[in-house]
Amino acid sequence: MKDTDLYSRILGLAAPWFVDAVKLNTVEGRVDIHVEHGSGVRWACPVCGRELSCRDHAEPRVWRHLDTCQFKTFLHARIPRVDCPEHGVLQVNVPWAESKGRFTLLMERLIIDVLTECATLTGARRIMRITWDEAWGVMERAVRRGRERKQSTPSRYLGVDEKAFRKGHDYVTVVCDLVDSTVEYVADERKTESLEGYYLQFTKDQLARIKAVAMDMWEPYFKATLKHVPGAVGKIVHDRFHIMKHVSEAVDRVRKQEHRELMGQEDHRLRGTKYLWLYREENLPDKHRPTLEVLKASNLKVAKAWAMKESLNDVWKYLSMGWARRFVKRWLIWVNKSGLAPMRKVGGLIQRHLENILTFCRHRITNGVAEGLNSKIMAIKRKACGYRNRDHFKTAIYFFCGGLDLYPVSS
């Protein structure tokens, strides 16, 4: 079999395209494949599909293809141009690459696979023997085509959270699909406008399909959802893990205050006990249980605060909002009479947001998926040693966490 026939079959070329010549350069370690087309061919306008004769050719172009053994392989061709009466002079589409692409479709698919597995641009470009800019271009095009293909409807269950871009309270807002565990939208900062940008993509009828939105008690997110989502008052669910985090932090503040007081009396009972009070009782390692039991039996303020924290966990077991409301009100009376300032403060926070805490009884959703995606985003950021460019950070989030159809398709 001739080398031209071999590469025609490998490339899957069909008339009018054929391989005219194959040149091997062992010194430079490359194979150059020159593709031509037959004469008298009528070409389809890339916009409307109207068949037209060839007007002229664009300048010869080069595409990087899959390697031939250890040799880099390049495909060369002149692309015909047509003069469409409606759309003007345009280059026709070729079957082996996307318009304006620098790689063949097969090469671009492989680069996407390697990027996905490596999770780092630097590692992928070294394996594929391409430049950083070329690898980044593939990632950007993949995200762009994936987002264009994405169905333009909001998920029934959404999670809203923020992710640190860099130190110094510099954040991006992340909206995720709690059903498919994918990132749907990333916006700068964590303002009302940040989340509004997501909702403004949809019509009122589309937004009405949203059944519930899980979020923390950050006021700008709350306001944006109330403004745009029909019936949002009964759909916003303040995330249980964020609420319990606030309560755990209050318990830790009680511990710190009491520890300082006891240290002044040469009492070291609370030294090294920080994490004992932050565990849920059922998750406490067995080796720490004897210590906690002794401390619980003593008349310590932190033991009382810990008991309040553990008691509040029962609210998530209720299926009835009415019974859950009664439980929380009894809990708030206990907290307010405790004399523990940090617990009273967190009790006030829960009181102010009570109605959208209790919506958990109806919707049973949390931001656990969003937290899992945040961990994945953190890992991506760590592997990249951080991002200086915010747009690059958002592109990486969409690429690795967006659940997008990233691959190119033939024309």
In the chain, domain spans: 3-147, 240-363
Beta strands 80-84 and 88-91 are antiparallel
For residue 380, what pLDDT is reported? 86
What average pLDDT does the segment 321-332 reach?
Answer: 96
What average pLDDT does the segment 277-289 reach?
Answer: 89
Tell me which residue has tokens 């006021």.
Answer: 219
> What three-state secondary structure class fits 101?
coil
For residues 358 and 9, give the distance between their C-alpha atoms in angstroms, rounded to a whole number: 64
Q: How confident is the model at residue 101 (pLDDT cuts 50, 70, 90)?
A: confident
What average pLDDT does the segment 78-107 reach?
Answer: 92
Query: What residues does 71 pair with on adjacent strands?
Result: 68
For residues 183 and 302, give the distance between their C-alpha atoms in angstroms, rounded to a whole number: 39
Asked whether 67 and 111 are in contact (CB, 8 A), the reply is: no
For residue 100, what pLDDT is reported? 83
> What three-state secondary structure class fits 380?
helix
Q: Is residue 313 scored above 90 in pLDDT?
A: yes
For residues 242 and 331, give the distance between their C-alpha atoms in angstroms, rounded to a whole number: 18
For residue 168, what pLDDT is reported? 65
For residues 40 and 19, give the distance between their C-alpha atoms in angstroms, rounded to a whole number: 18
Catalogue the long-range contacts made by 242-247 (C-beta closer than 8 Å, 24 or more residues apart): 242/216, 242/217, 242/367, 243/217, 243/350, 243/357, 244/309, 244/312, 244/313, 246/217, 246/346, 246/349, 246/350, 247/308, 247/309, 247/312, 247/346, 247/350
Q: How confident is the model at residue 370 (pLDDT cuts 50, 70, 90)?
A: confident
What average pLDDT does the segment 249-256 reach?
Answer: 96
Q: How confident is the model at residue 166 (pLDDT cuts 50, 70, 90)?
A: confident
Asked whether 411 and 94 are in contact (CB, 8 A), the reply is: yes
What average pLDDT does the segment 49-54 reach?
Answer: 92
More confident residue, 411 or 388: 388
Q: How confident is the model at residue 169 (pLDDT cuts 50, 70, 90)?
A: low
Q: How many residues are there in the chain?
A: 411
Q: What is the CA radius of gyration of the chain?
A: 30
For residue 297, what pLDDT is reported? 85
Q: How confident is the model at residue 73 (pLDDT cuts 50, 70, 90)?
A: very high
The sheet that has 17-25: what strands, in order across it?
17-25, 30-37, 71-77, 61-68
Q: Enter the pTM of the model.
A: 0.87
According to DSSP, residue 283 is labeled G
What average pLDDT does the segment 192-219 reach?
Answer: 95
Q: Is residue 386 scored above 80 in pLDDT?
A: no
More confident residue, 84 or 298: 84
Q: How confident is the model at residue 2 (pLDDT cuts 50, 70, 90)?
A: confident
For residues 16 and 43, give the distance between their C-alpha atoms in angstroms, rounded to a whole number: 10
Q: Is residue 25 scored above 90 in pLDDT?
A: yes
Closest CA to 122 of 113, 133, 106: 133
Tell me which residue has tokens 């205050």.
Answer: 257
For residue 411, what pLDDT is reported? 56
According to DSSP, residue 39 is labeled S
Asked whether 85 and 130 are in contact (CB, 8 A), the reply is: no
For residue 337, what pLDDT is reported? 94
For residues 249 and 165, give the distance between their C-alpha atoms in angstroms, rounded to a whole number: 24
For residue 186, what pLDDT is reported? 95
Q: Per-residue DSSP letters for 243-261?
A: HHHHHHHHHHHHHHHHHHH
